[in-house]
Structure 1
Amino acid sequence: MGPYQPMLSEYPRSEFGKQQRRFQYSWFKKFPWLEYSPSKDAVFCFPCYLFESGKSQQSAFTVEGFKSWKHVNDGGKCAFLSHEGGSNSVHNTSSNLVVDLMNVTRHIDKVMNRESSEQIQKNRLRLTATIESVRWLSLQACALRGHDESLDSQNRGNFIEMLKLLGKWNDSIANVILEKAPGNAKYTSPEVQKEILHIIGNRVRNKIRDEIGDSKFCILVDEAKDISNKEQMAIIFRFVDVNGVLRERFFQIVHVNDTTAATLKKEICNVLTRYNLEINNMRGQGYDGASNMSGIFNGLQALFLKDCPYAYYVHCFAHRLQLALVTAAEKEISIWLFFSNLTTIINLMTSSKRNTELQSAQANEIARSIADGERELGRGANQIGNLQRPGTTQKLSLDRKISKLP
């Protein structure tokens, strides 16, 4: 609120020898730091009274009060001017502190709030860059982490290299990510990446759950070992949405300790319960023909039929066709010889030197065919592939797909 400067109709007079003097209101304009005490008929220095530290050097202006009016208009010896002193005087130092006090924007709480708000914006921008990088890499089924993510590495992995690319095109991002981020808020650790993937996965599953609504649904389940030799169970929902369109949605991969029917049923029921899907609404089951899945007494389909008699089991047509083809092929000598020789040829050609020569010959053959007009041009056409080992079951291809999942 500033110094107390009352405007009185008449200030008290004081005798100084044969003269009477009194305080003048005009002094407030000339010395705005003054404040007047009517009870003491004295003036004080407002800044020094607030901020003078230690023992007062001029107690007349801070403790006792100054009222020697004859020494005010005394030219260069004016008491008020003497009190002000030079630029580094105690009075001017205190006056600067008063200016800071009156400036609300420089109060400590405002400064802390402003810095906190700026830090929040930086954290949000840093986290947004991390989320978008994880989202894009997961959409493209790319690995996030690299073999060597140290500062000296030439390639720190897809995730960090993606962040560096974003920073290269946006200075605001570049100023808050990686080495320029606080040590406790980089948002690049594997734990943060997994948490973001988990959140994104939950949002996708909730979206699928909204599509299902109260409709009846079928489940398609199969299991296979991933590259770390852990058994993983894939769950797919098949349903008709509110628009009458048949949908088939991959829902989740669940790690199971074993492949017994009871364990598989328990894990599937946990997923259904977590997303509020009732077993009574199940109208179909699709598995392979293994005994733990199709057994009429203790198989997975039999356990679900006990809970819902309308959840009819259908042996997967792809598995049935594959089994029929394998059985028929094994009885035909020419086909058996063909695949046996094919395996030998692939084993011979997959060495690095022979494989390179084979790809070179294939590239030359494709170029010749294009030049002769025997091949059509187009996006994704005429690509050079690799030799794949033949297998008698489709689980080999399924294993490769699951092993590539992030």
Structure 2
Amino acid sequence: MAPTRKYPSGYLKRQRKRRHIDNEKLVDDLGHDEINDILEENDNYEDALNAFIGQSSESIPSNIYDPQIWDSLDPKWIDLLAEKGPIRDLSIEKGAKDQFNRRFNAAFYTRYLSNGEKHDRDWLVYSKYIDKVFCFCCKLFKKGPLKGQLANEGYKDWTHLSVRLKEHEISSDHISNITTWIDLRLRLEKNETINKAVQDQIKKEKEHWRELLRRLISIVKYLAKYTLAFRGTNDTLYEESNGNFMGLVQMMAESDPLIKKHLQ
């Protein structure tokens, strides 16, 4: 049986030193802007750390402007759509022909009033993927089942579309939903949504984690610079032999109100 070493070999020491230098460089390369970006995209410290070590944060769905997915959208993406409005592909003037040789035409976007005025139907959305039209506001803001294909699976009876659009835009459900959309869009632009208090709280929470993460990264950089061990024989605060990292956190808490409050 080979004898066990009381002290690490020179090779092991060199490997540890190289690993510490690499860690220091990694942390040093992460500036304040990167930290801010990480915390802007993550609501808590755990998510921020996940992003810090390379896990991808949640991003906007690539097909968010496709009406087919709007029934299952998260509320935050609904708010984004309400603020930005539907995206209209102006390059599509006509759709594919159906069995009756009829097809979607960009002229449907315009409403002609009896006095000759023209109004844009900014709520009308055409999906080129399934060759159907939808009502943007009714699809997003309907409460429970709503009659009509424009608010559900989409409409593609191009022969009767003009009549159907005129009926839809004067219906009580459509007027209610378009009012909801306009009201929400205005409140989002002014940052006066119903859950503004919640958003303010989230903002404060992010700022707390941002400042805490900066302090912890400073500790990590210090330990990496001097090739000091992070952990001790236990990982509990205010106990003996809990390591350099915990010890430095405890020391900073004596003069740093933010860390002190966090530890409490």
Give the shorter-chain TM-score range: 0.3 to 0.5
> Scaled by the length of structure 2, what TM-score is found?
0.36
Bigger fraction of residues in strand:
1
Tell me which structure has the larger Cα radius of gyration.
Answer: 1
> Scaled by the length of structure 1, what TM-score is found?
0.24
